């Protein structure tokens, strides 16, 4: 397995241990284009207690951070409103509009995009001592907490 794919597999497993209620993650073991953290816990204030989180990885990951993640299209706040920074438009994959050169998961149908603004990114050889999928998941967790207010 290529070093980049080994790193993605390791980071997905670590993220599952820390950010998945069921301790499960899936990843693209061919191109390293995506990771899914299954059963990501949501704070009170949403219509679900967990959601799967899809993170698209740029081809230059881990040097370049992801900037989008996706959640279930039906995710809403408990009051029925849409959380801010969640885009409920067409999420179908268009290679002409995407910064990703490899294909994401087979379909984005049923997912909705959420922006992730990472202003500082310093990966290290050891994912535990630098930015990694763990950092991304922590930002996502904080976004879910912030959006419910």
Average pLDDT taken over every residue of the chain = 86
Q: What is the mean predicted confidence (pLDDT) over 80-105? A: 57
Place of tokens 């922006």: 115
Buried b (16+ CB within 10 A) or exposed e, 110-126: ebbbbebeeeeeebeee
Nearest to 31 by CA among 52, 13, 16, 9: 9
- Mean pLDDT over 5-27 rounds to 97
Give the predicted TM-score (pTM) of the model: 0.86
Of 103 and 73, the one with more pLDDT: 73
Confidence (pLDDT) at 62: 95
Nearest to 82 by CA among 93, 71, 94: 71
Binning pLDDT at 50, 70 and 90, where does residue 102 land? very low
Q: How far apart, in whole angstroms, are the C-alpha atoms of residue 100 and residue 22? A: 29
Lowest mean pLDDT across 22-36, 92-106, 132-146: 92-106
The H or E element that residue 5 is part of is helix 3-19
Rounded alpha-carbon distances, angstroms, from residue 109 to 40, 73, 92, 101: 19, 8, 6, 19
Residue 27: which of 63, 2, 64, 50 has the closest Cα? Answer: 2
Instruction: Specify the pLDDT at position 45.
Output: 95
Handedness of CA 37, 30, 92, 134 (dihedral sign): positive
Instruction: Average the pLDDT over 114-133 and give the result.
Output: 91
Arithmetic mean of pLDDT, 2-14: 96
Helix (H, G, I), strand (E, B) or coil at 118: coil
Q: Please, are residues 17 and 136 in contact by the beta-carbon 8 Å criterion?
A: no
Q: Is 47 exposed, middle or buried (0-12, 13-18, 19+ CB in 10 A)?
A: middle
**Higher confidence at residue 4 or residue 82?**
4
């Amino acid at each position: 397995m290529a070093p980049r794919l080994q790193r993605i597999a390791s980071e997905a497993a670590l993220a599952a241990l820390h950010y998945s209620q069921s301790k499960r993650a899936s990843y693209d073991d061919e191109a390293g284009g995506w990771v899914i953290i299954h059963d990501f816990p949501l704070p009170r204030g949403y219509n679900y207690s967990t959601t799967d989180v899809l993170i698209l990885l740029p081809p230059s990951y881990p040097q370049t951070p992801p900037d989008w993640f996706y959640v279930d299209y039906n995710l809403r706040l408990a009051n029925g409103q849409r959380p801010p920074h969640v885009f409920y438009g067409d999420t179908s994959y268009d290679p002409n509009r995407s910064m990703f050169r490899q294909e994401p998961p087979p379909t984005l149908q049923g997912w909705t995009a959420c922006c992730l603004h990472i202003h500082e990114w310093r990966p290290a050889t050891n994912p535990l001592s630098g930015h990694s999928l763990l950092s991304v998941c922590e930002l996502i967790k904080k976004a879910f907490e912030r959006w419910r207010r």
